[in-house]
Structure 1
Amino acid sequence: MRHIYRCPLRWADMDAYGHVNNVVFLRYLEEARVNFLFRPDKNFKQGSVVARHEIDYKRQLVHRHTPVDIELWVTQIRAASFTLTYEVKDGDQIYVRASTVIVPFDFEAGRPRRLTEEEREFLQEYLDDDKEEAVAA
């Protein structure tokens, strides 16, 4: 299953050429990730940190007033990390493919922690390891 976030484009996101600036896409991924992980019914209450980003720019996104879709799914779950994969797109038109490795974190202890069973079950609902090969292509 995939999580879909409708990401609004902002005037400040635009570069001098009228395109969404490449750096802004990292913020878009963050918005989608927060929307996915911190919902009232499912929540990473103990916290998490980003360990790694990979981003592949496919085409320019021209600034406009309508949102862009960000599809997000899980491609790997480990004991103390998981990988989210994204496509920023309109229908079949893909602007960005990306992935983020996330580490659950205990902020009180100041160290990484293992996934809880509740977190693992939640992530399993969005696990789609067949898509990982397509993202790498």
Structure 2
Amino acid sequence: MDAFGHVNNAVFVRYLEEARIDFMWRLAPGEGSTSFSGGSVVARHEIDYVRPLVHRHAPVTVESWVTKIGAASMTIAYEIKDEETVYVRASTVVVPYDLEAQRPRRITAEEKSFLAAYLDGADGAEQPEGAVAA
């Protein structure tokens, strides 16, 4: 909380990070997949603070979905909200990263297939939920 009892803007970035990590790691655990395990870096954040989120005991939800899949990057969109109010709309450009080689890498076919299941279609299809409660 900041001095005015609102969730600080930097805390919202942390909520987005937690949702993104949860989303990207869903593919690898338990299936023997190495997808997304080599690392990734954030190339860009875009955040619209729609309404202030004041101190409360009820959780908010972070919904996330994919809006773009490129050869070597993906864009993940989010809404931080409760049942009645959207507090933040945001997007993050994520670049898969080869930690050993210390350079960006291309998205694998397995990763593209996983991401495509969460892709928001241009036809206005409902946004899939890849949510984590914050």
- In structure 2, list runs of 5 or more residues that go unmatched: 125-134
Structure 1 partner of 2:132: none
Structure 2 partner of 1:51: 43
Where in structure 2 are the equivalents of 1:53-132 lying within 5 Å?
A: 53-130=45-122
Kindly tell me the number of residue pairs found equivalent between the two proteins: 118
Cα distance in 2 for partners of 1:54, 1:123 equals 20
Cα distance in 2 for partners of 1:66, 1:80 equals 38
Contact 1:47 1:106 in 2 (8 A): yes
- State the Cα distance separating 1:91 from its structure 2 match: 1.9
With the length of structure 2 as denominator, give the TM-score of the two structures. 0.83
Cα distance in 2 for partners of 1:125, 1:83 equals 14
Contact 2:62 2:81 in 1 (8 A): yes
Cα distance in 2 for partners of 1:110, 1:22 equals 30
Instruction: State the identity %.
Output: 65
Q: Secondary structure at the match of 1:24?
A: helix
Q: Secondary structure at the match of 1:79?
A: coil
Correspondence 1:16 to 2:22: no
- State the Cα distance separating 1:65 from its structure 2 match: 1.8
Show structure 1 runs of 4+ deviating over 6 A. none
- State the Cα distance separating 1:66 from its structure 2 match: 2.0
- In structure 1, list runs of 5 or more residues that go unmatched: 1-13, 132-137
- State the Cα distance separating 1:129 from its structure 2 match: 3.7
Contact 1:50 1:102 in 2 (8 A): yes
Q: Secondary structure at the match of 2:17?
A: helix
- Which AA in structure 2 matches 1:45? S
Correspondence 1:25 to 2:12: yes
What per-residue deviation string (whole Å, max 9, x for no partner) do you get for residues 84-133 of structure 1? Answer: 000000124100000000001101000000001111100000000436xx
